[in-house]
A and B are shown apart, each in its own frame.
Chain A
Amino acid sequence: MARRSAPEVNAGSMADIAFLLLIFFLVTTTIEVDSGIASKLPPPLPPETKPPLIKEKNIFQVVVNAENRLLVEDADMEIGDLTDAAVKFLDNGGGTLPQNSCSYCRGDKDPESSDNPKKAVISLVNDRQTSYKMYLAVTNELVRAYSILRDREAKRLYNETFSSMTNRFAEWPATEKENNPEYDELEERIKKVQELFPRNLSEAEPQNRE
């Protein structure tokens, strides 16, 4: 028998087929967004609950109206200045009595502003007609104020920023979590920094002002 080599398959159209598939996937692809600002809602309250008493000076009032204008502590403000104002308020540490003084605050110790970060509450009031992008920008700036302060304290105590700690915590391999002293320590540290600057961000129900 004469040996005959098998004829080669023509692969010239391979590229066309691949292009066809490629274009199909290009058109159908929507890359899903999987990031966001995490937040916690307060649990529903029993009907006759009295609001807790909070001193006026421990509240940082932020109001956003229907025209997306910002009113902070009864004064007009641009959104670019909001974070600094919030940091100044939270970090004030104006408490003079031993039970409400703040040893780690570096603020002005203004007696007219917040006593300490644990008592300080940021209250955000929106109008129903506020646009979502403004609402989210304001929330973002307020959350940023907390992050700045937490980063600072974490750096002082553990020489690592808070965001890096939470990142490490989230990306810890699932198999090494049990009985791992390093993991438990990290969790402990994160809790501690969070306690120094708890995120007291209160949202009132939106109102339609006449």
Chain B
Amino acid sequence: MSKFKKKKNSEVPAVNTASLPDIVFMLLFFFMVATVMRDDELQIENQLPQANQVEKLAEKKKVVTIYIGKPSPNFTKQYGVTEVIQLGDKISPITDVRTYVDTKRNAMDEDVKDEMMVSLKVDQNSQIGILTDVKQELREAMALKISYTSVEGDPLRNLKN
């Protein structure tokens, strides 16, 4: 009996961690590839609603983004608590929308100017009054292709909470 007992090592052998860096690198590369750096620092709350009739947005160079939502807690002192428009990385008045779209359009390549699309990223809890004003401005600016950017999902689930 004692012969067998001697052979057994009572301590559990340490797990070999030599392949841990490989696993971590794999994850790292995934995130590096999947990451898109945000162009605009958001100063407003912007939680997008869900919809299921979505289409893919055009290429990035053809898209102009307009954000609408309530100012984030840090900015309520400056901008109040009702919905505001964010163009680029600053909160702007409605009158700037037309200029902003025109400037963006002029900066585009000649061949994609006609295909410009305006992506409206509107917070799901905001009221649509301001969105309507923006749409009127876009009509005046002849930026007629728009997209209500939304996450793919069930729209009825938005309404439940």
Interface residue ranges, A against B (CB under 8 Å) = 11, 14-15, 18-19, 21-22, 25-26, 28-44, 68, 79-80, 126, 128-137, 139-141, 143-144, 147, 166, 170, 205-206
Partner of A68, one of B25, B148, B159: B159
Partner of A36, one of B123, B126, B136, B150: B150
A-B contact pairs, 5 of them (CB 8 A): A19-B24, A29-B35, A30-B36, A42-B144, A131-B128
Contact B128 A41 (CB under 8 A): no
Which has the most chain A C-beta neighbours within 10 Å: B135, B146, B148? B148
Judge if B119 is at the interface, Cβ distance under 8 Å.
Answer: yes
Contact A25 B57 (CB under 8 A): no
Q: Known A15-B21, A136-B155; judge A37-B35 contact (CB<8 A).
A: no
Q: Which residues of B contact A26 (CB under 8 A)?
A: 31
Q: Which residues of A contact B127 (CB under 8 A)?
A: 128-132
B72: min CB distance to chain A, Å: 15
Interface residues in B123-161 (C-beta closer than 8 Å to A): 123-129, 131-132, 135-136, 138-140, 142-152, 155-156, 158-159
Interface residue ranges, B against A (CB under 8 Å) = 17, 20-21, 24-25, 27-28, 31-32, 34-38, 48-49, 51-57, 117, 119-129, 131-132, 135-136, 138-140, 142-152, 155-156, 158-159
Q: Known A14-B21, A128-B132; judge A22-B31 contact (CB<8 A).
A: yes
Extra A-B contacts (5), CB below 8 Å, given A131-B127, A132-B127: A33-B151, A34-B57, A36-B119, A41-B146, A144-B53
Contact A43 B144 (CB under 8 A): yes
